[in-house]
Amino acid sequence: MTIRVLSVASEAVPLVKTGGLADVAGALPAAVAPHGVAMTTLVPGYPAVLAALPKKAKAVHVWPSLLGEPARLMAGDLGGHPLLVLDAPGLFVRDGGIYGDAAGKDWADNWLRFAALGRAAADVASGAVKKLGFDALHAHDWQAGMAPAYLRYSPAGATVPSVMTIHNMAFQGHFGVDRFPGLGLPPEAWSIDGVEYHGGVGFLKAGLASASAITTVSPTYAREIRTAEFGMGLEGLIRSRGGDVLGIVNGIDPAQWNPEHDPALPARFGLRTLAKRAVNKRVLEAEFGLEPGDGPIFIVISRLTWQKGMDVLFEAIDHLVGVGGRLALLGSGDMAMEAKLHAAAARHPGRIGVRIGYDEALSHRMQGGGDAILVPSRFEPCGLTQLYGLAYGCVPVVSRTGGLADTVVDANIAAIAVGAATGVQFNVVTYAALAEAIDRTMGLYRQPEVWRAIVRAGMKSDFSWGRSGKAYADLYRRLTESA
Ligand code: ADP
Ligand code: GLC
């Protein structure tokens, strides 16, 4: 029997994206479809999302007042799968980013914007919209965290099972106690096993406390968040949910990321036509103003933040250049970090190329032309850029944490001997460890046969959604059967 699941997220490819959450929310419907799950995705009606709706789209439901705001539900399409859009212009139509203004400051009413998303999701999942029925709800990250809580505290919703997925424990949606009355929850929700969190309202906490099951995006991160170092204050709650917490690793969407069919690449290639990568490398050199050469080009595609270890990367830039490497970096985020990067590029003309901003097509060209992708994250729930690197023959050089630990096989002597190595791992995110990892990568690159074997093993490794799509489907089935 087909299971109908409503997936709720604050971003989804190809409509709107600020990070990996969007890739995953966009890919999930196709990932679970072969396993008997019909998934509908609900996202907020930001301008870019409304613009993608068909001209004649009709409202399938109207809320005269959704937590005080007029709202409608519109039907659309997400890569061939059903889409629902929460059209509430007072909340989601504004200039700037989806979470904050153009200067990066969070919108002051984010609590209301995403409480409304959760309220709408719970209404839809529990049958408020005639002709739409769902067997389960799947909420992603804090922005959807209130959905399981609204289900739990509403008479019609309490029987609908829900899954809460943590894509990043560092973002929790924590607001003041004065917001509680505006959420429209019954008084009993204000409790330590409800939405209360350190004297305020915690959206992720509410989802974790209310959902029937919890998942996160890799088995290693599922273990890590049980500890104080990675749990960010929620480790106790995670531990108390015991076996309800599963780690399911992300896959990549072959419709978006396949080097044989990627329209963004100057030269498309596959395992049998690897030599064509050289064309992409020359284009990359030109795009980043790097002097042409046979040595490796390291790439970085990242938010410029502490999580991603970018401060440590900057410390290692001179070393990278000193041992003969070149670097092409695409990123945005912290302004102070951006300034440091420009300074590094000025220090090493022709060796360091920097592009500040967000550029999807460029990120594809970098994966298709670079030799190694550096991902020195302090924590990484899953990480997608190393998976794209594997698929595109751009060898991942990663810290051994979260999904990076689970998806890259370190090129130690034993792994090289059996042909299993797909990248380079290092243990702690320090200058010394990163510099050593760069040295090891340079050493491997200088052995063309070994390097080719690593590239090929990476391209052949399983980064598809296959097993993970089935794991989500199995989870939904288990929950709906026991509901
Ligand atoms: P996170 O979601 O924590 O930022 P992930 O590795 O899961 O990390 O996902 C990041 C996604 O965003 C990837 O698809 C990556 O290619 C993309 N990305 C990050 N920074 C940029 C950028 N500056 N330009 C284009 N794409 C980017
Ligand atoms: C988060 C995490 C990242 C993960 C992505 C998708 O943004 O930081 O590691 O890959 O979500 O699950």
Average pLDDT, the chain: 96
Query: Quick one: 271-460 is in which CATH superfamily?
Result: Glycogen Phosphorylase B; (3.40.50.2000)
Lookup result for tokens 């919890």: 214
Tell me how far the alpha carbon of residue 102 is from its chain's centroid.
Answer: 22
Q: Give the pLDDT score at 369.
A: 98
The residue among 128 and 55 whose pLDDT is bigger is 55
Amino acid sitting at position 438 = I
Question: For 195, how many CA atoms within 13 A lie in the half-sphere containing its CB?
Answer: 34
Q: Give the pLDDT score at 156.
A: 84
pLDDT at 483 > cutoff 80: no
Of 384, 386, 401, 406, which is best to mutate to test ligand 1, by the most ligand atoms within 8 angstroms of its C-beta?
A: 384
Distance 151 CA to ligand 1 centre (A): 32
pLDDT at 457 > cutoff 90: yes
Distance 385 CA to ligand 1 centre (A): 7
Q: How far, in Å, CA of 383 to CA of 218, rounded?
A: 9
459 ligand 1 Cβ < 6 A: no
Q: Which two tokens mark 85?
A: 């859009």
**What is the rounded end-to-end Cα distance, in angstroms, of the chain?**
15
Of 363, 387, 404, which is best to mutate to test ligand 1, by the most ligand atoms within 8 angstroms of its C-beta?
A: 363
What contacts 469, CB < 8 A, 6 or more positions away? 28, 31, 32, 33, 34, 35, 251
- Atom 12 in ligand 2: which residue has the minimum CA distance? 167
Q: Give the pLDDT score at 155.
A: 87
Q: What is the pLDDT of residues 201-242, one digit of tens each?
A: 999 999 999 999 999 999 999 999 999 999 999 999 999 998
pLDDT at 58 > cutoff 90: no
Task: Let me know: does 422 contact 288? Beta carbons within 8 Å.
Answer: no
Q: Which ligand is nearest to the CA of 362?
A: 1
Distance 374 CA to ligand 2 centre (A): 16
Q: How far, in Å, CA of 387 to CA of 410, rounded?
A: 14
pLDDT at 470 > cutoff 80: yes
Distance 382 CA to ligand 2 centre (A): 5
- Atom 9 in ligand 1: which residue has the minimum CA distance? 20
DSSP H or E run through 426: strand 424-426
250 ligand 1 Cβ < 6 A: no
pLDDT at 466 > cutoff 90: yes
383 ligand 1 Cβ < 6 A: yes
pTM of the prediction? 0.96
Distance 137 CA to ligand 1 centre (A): 26
Q: Give the pLDDT score at 223.
A: 97
Q: Are 3-251+466-482 and 271-460 in the same CATH fold? A: yes
280 ligand 1 Cβ < 6 A: no
Q: What share of the chain in percent tops pLDDT 70? A: 100
Q: Give the pLDDT score at 61.
A: 96
Q: Give the pLDDT score at 103.
A: 85
Q: Give the pLDDT score at 334.
A: 81
pLDDT at 399 > cutoff 80: yes
Q: Which ligand is nearest to the CA of 165?
A: 2
Distance 62 CA to ligand 2 centre (A): 33
- Atom 4 in ligand 1: which residue has the minimum CA distance? 19
- Atom 24 in ligand 1: which residue has the minimum CA distance? 358
Q: How far, in Å, CA of 248 to CA of 109, rounded?
A: 32
- Pocket-forming residues, ligand 2, beta carbon under 6 Å: 19-21, 24, 167-168, 217, 250, 380-384, 403
- The residue length of the chain stands at 483
Q: What is the pLDDT of residues 288-333, one digit of tens each?
A: 999 999 999 999 999 999 999 999 999 999 999 999 999 999 999 8
Q: Which ligand is nearest to the CA of 389?
A: 1
pLDDT at 398 > cutoff 90: yes
Over range 450-476, report the average pLDDT.
Answer: 97
Q: What is the pLDDT of residues 22-40, one digit of tens each?
A: 999 999 999 999 999 999 9
Q: How far, in Å, CA of 287 to CA of 259, rounded?
A: 19
Q: Which fold has domain 3-251+466-482?
A: Rossmann fold (3.40.50)
Task: Let me know: does 406 contact 472? Beta carbons within 8 Å.
Answer: no
Measured from the Cα of 375, ligand 1's closest atom is 6
Q: Which ligand is nearest to the CA of 404?
A: 2
Q: Give the pLDDT score at 114.
A: 98
Q: What is the pLDDT of residues 171-192, one digit of tens each?
A: 999 999 999 999 999 999 999 9
Q: Give the pLDDT score at 136.
A: 98
Distance 17 CA to ligand 1 centre (A): 9
Q: Which ligand is nearest to the CA of 221?
A: 2
- Atom 5 in ligand 2: which residue has the minimum CA distance? 20
Q: How far, in Å, CA of 280 to CA of 260, rounded?
A: 13
Of the given ranges (68-77, 151-160, 226-235), which has the lowest mean pLDDT?
A: 151-160
Distance 186 CA to ligand 2 centre (A): 33
Over range 434-447, report the average pLDDT.
Answer: 98
Residue spans of the domains in the chain: they are 3-251+466-482, 271-460
Distance 10 CA to ligand 1 centre (A): 16
Measured from the Cα of 402, ligand 2's closest atom is 9
| Confidence label for 129 from pLDDT (cuts 50, 70 and 90) | confident
Distance 27 CA to ligand 1 centre (A): 15
pLDDT at 413 > cutoff 80: yes
